[in-house]
A and B are shown apart, each in its own frame.
Chain A
Amino acid sequence: MLNKLKNTVLDSQIKKSIFRVGIPNTDRKRVLIVLGNVFLHLHPTKVRTSGVKLRYTWCAGGLSFFLFLVLTLTGVLLMFYYRPTVEGAYVDMLDIRSQVPFGIMRELHRWSAHAMVIMVMVHMFRVFMTGSYKPPREFNWAIGVILLVLTFLLSFTGYLLPWDQLAIWAITVGSNMAKATPLMGAGGPFADFLQIGGVPLVHPGDDARFMLIGAKELGGTTLLRFYVLHCVGIPLIAAVLMAVHFWRIRKDGGISGPL
């Protein structure tokens, strides 16, 4: 009876439509299961044996990606409760902590962000120390450097969102650096030289900092801008570059190992 039920389930059209390949107990099936699944297809069907040894790779790149996924998930959940306004942001932080069941979502998000920054740095360290940027992997290293910068920017834009003292002063310092951009920031070297008949072209109301924070002083516009960059802008760019990064790993000779 039980056996019959088991066979019915395992042989059902539903099961077979989802899992094309049975239990991967032959080499053929091991190939098919990786090729047939869009997520596993990130990997080739076989990799260098040295590539799966933890002491060579430290799994740092994989964990960075995993942390990115965790951050996406927890970030989307936080978006249900968070309002990017001067009045709402701080209150919502308190509510997420005390009024929402499983009130550790913000903690998960913040600590994952810290962990991701560390993991990306460790990954870069490992790649350098094994010389894995050498030909033919030069271009992928460059992509990786941009991804490192994007990781910093993601974390930095997220830092403002709680709208507490920690947030605004970190962003004050950060955004004032934009003001010092040569030629493009109102306080930067040679910005005064850009003027037509005494009318300045670069001034606090129209410079790199203004573009970043949307006003002359940090405020609601800044919060909204950073929110959009944090939740949509930078993650999109990062996701596209990650796709390139992963694809090039395969095309440039597979997971790190002597070529």
Chain B
Amino acid sequence: MAELKFVGADKPQLGQPLSPREEAVRRLKAKGFLDPAGQPMPRRQFLVSLALAWATFAAALGGGLTALFAFMVPRVDFTRVDVFKVGPPTNFAPNTVDESFKAAHRMWVVNHDSRIFAIQSVCTHLGCTPNWMDGERKFKCPCHGSGYTIDGINFEGPAPFPMRRYEVTLADDGQIVVNEGRLFFWEKGEFDDPRAFVAV
């Protein structure tokens, strides 16, 4: 029979069989749970080791998960943000909704109450594109039936907020410039911000 080779502290003493208890003590000593004199590891030291072990495990797991989530959020977002001219204020008659920019820029230009503003065509409920119903004088979202008045204020259906508005400014050539990079929120009281509308 080939001779078995044991390496390290686990090596049994050949020739003298150990009782089960002695065998257990020997293994615990080998693993460091008992010191060479046979005394157990102090309770405090044991608890600290246990806590450290678990903390390391949790940290590794948490770190891995964080890395996974971080990996899923890229540093650069290539969503297009445009700044564009929509024409002079005279192009927009009072109390009308101009739909000519909806297809390209997903927004309406509205002249209402002596103000011209750009409403983002995104329902605040779940992001569908509402339709302007000229007959009913309201925006109506096809997804869950949210309704907005001509100035984009929600009045029916599940929408929790009015629709957002883009920044509008007057360029030197007298045209209105819409900036998709800046949104104005009604619930933050931003609709009266001078950049949220062009007075006419």
Name A's B-contacting residues (CB within 8 A): 169, 172-173, 175-177, 179, 187, 205-206, 210-211, 214-217, 219, 221
Partner among B69, B77, B125, B126 whose Cβ is within 8 Å of the Cβ of A205: B77
Min CB–CB distance B159 → chain A (angstroms): 12
Q: B79 interface residue, CB < 8 Å from A?
A: yes
The chain B residue sitting closest to A206, CB to CB, is: B73
Number of residues from B at the complex interface, CB < 8 A: 13
Contact A172 B126 (CB under 8 A): yes
Closest 4 CB pairs between A and B? A176-B127, A176-B126, A216-B79, A173-B126
Please report whether the interface of chain B is mostly helix, strand, loop or mixed according to DSSP.
loop
Contact A217 B79 (CB under 8 A): yes
A206-B73, A210-B73 known; A215-B127 Cβ under 8 A? no
Q: B143 interface residue, CB < 8 Å from A?
A: yes
A221: B residues at CB distance < 8 A: 74, 78
CA distance A150 to B105 in the complex (A): 36
A210-B73, A211-B72 known; A172-B78 Cβ under 8 A? no
A173-B126, A173-B127, A211-B69 known; A216-B143 Cβ under 8 A? no
Contact B126 A215 (CB under 8 A): no
Please report whether the interface of chain A is mostly helix, strand, loop or mixed according to DSSP.
helix
A172: B residues at CB distance < 8 A: 126-128
Contact B79 A215 (CB under 8 A): yes
CA distance A169 to B122 in the complex (A): 12
Name B's A-contacting residues (CB within 8 A): 69, 72-74, 77-79, 124-128, 143
Residue of B124, B125, B126 with most partner-chain A CB within 10 A: B126
B73: A residues at CB distance < 8 A: 206, 210-211
A169: B residues at CB distance < 8 A: 128, 143
Min CB–CB distance B189 → chain A (angstroms): 13
Contact A177 B79 (CB under 8 A): no
Contact A219 B79 (CB under 8 A): yes
Partner among B72, B77, B126, B128 whose Cβ is within 8 Å of the Cβ of A177: B126
A175: B residues at CB distance < 8 A: 127
CA distance A177 to B126 in the complex (A): 7
| Pairs A–B under 8 Å by Cβ, sample size 9 | A172-B126, A173-B143, A175-B127, A176-B126, A205-B77, A210-B73, A210-B77, A211-B72, A214-B74
Min CB–CB distance A171 → chain B (angstroms): 10
Min CB–CB distance B97 → chain A (angstroms): 22
Min CB–CB distance B190 → chain A (angstroms): 14
B125: A residues at CB distance < 8 A: 176
A179: B residues at CB distance < 8 A: 127
CA distance A173 to B72 in the complex (A): 21
